[in-house]
Structure 1
């Protein structure tokens, strides 16, 4: 079995057109790649970038490569992620990501999943305070990660944002 090829990026800040243009270029010159992991603030930090993000979320633009993200805060995050959470396809315990749209998955809170034989663990957000739902993790998320740490095996990728 061939090793998976994965791209990593930091803050996207809602600049999905720029991101996916670069991903397509890299994929053509050095690919093919199996996935893109976005570790940083995925959503825009300014309202004028929200339309670009919504083009992808609402299907007017296509995500070219299987993409996972943490960094679930910024302009539009509560609106988009509330709708994602209510989607019946995303109900239940989904450590391998909540589907936002085709090829785009939100890694919420904490979890661990296997991707092409690699173990991927993640912790997204800041510690929960004042009941804010998005952009935070809870004590349950920390306890979940501790339980994973007790399991045998290796974690190949640990995705974390923001840094502690």
Structure 2
């Protein structure tokens, strides 16, 4: 019995850690110019390769100085550092703001669109959650519209 509980607990820990694990990839604008990157350890970099932030295994997003910008909760809710809701990522890739208005979409192929269905950019080999964080919430100042 102890062994079964231990395995279940270990599986839960590994699953929880992998939920927010980053995969490395590139953020590009609608003209295919590089905006930034995310590395496999969760570091966000701008197009000049300067560190602009991090995502930690618990879903915390920080700036380049490691100050908390906000959190991504397991249900797809993005909050700021004071735990106020900024928005949501729905399972279909739709991104909504805190007032439940559509901000845009992140497709399975990595295309990021605004609420009017115009292409904002691309998230190549990047999890939808991190693409939404980059384009719509925590690092959007790096996205030129």
Fold shared, TM-score > 0.5 on shorter chain:
no
TM-score range, shorter chain: under 0.3
TM-score between both structures, scaled by the size of structure 2 = 0.26
Which structure features the higher share of strand residues?
Answer: 2
Which structure features the higher share of helix residues?
Answer: 1
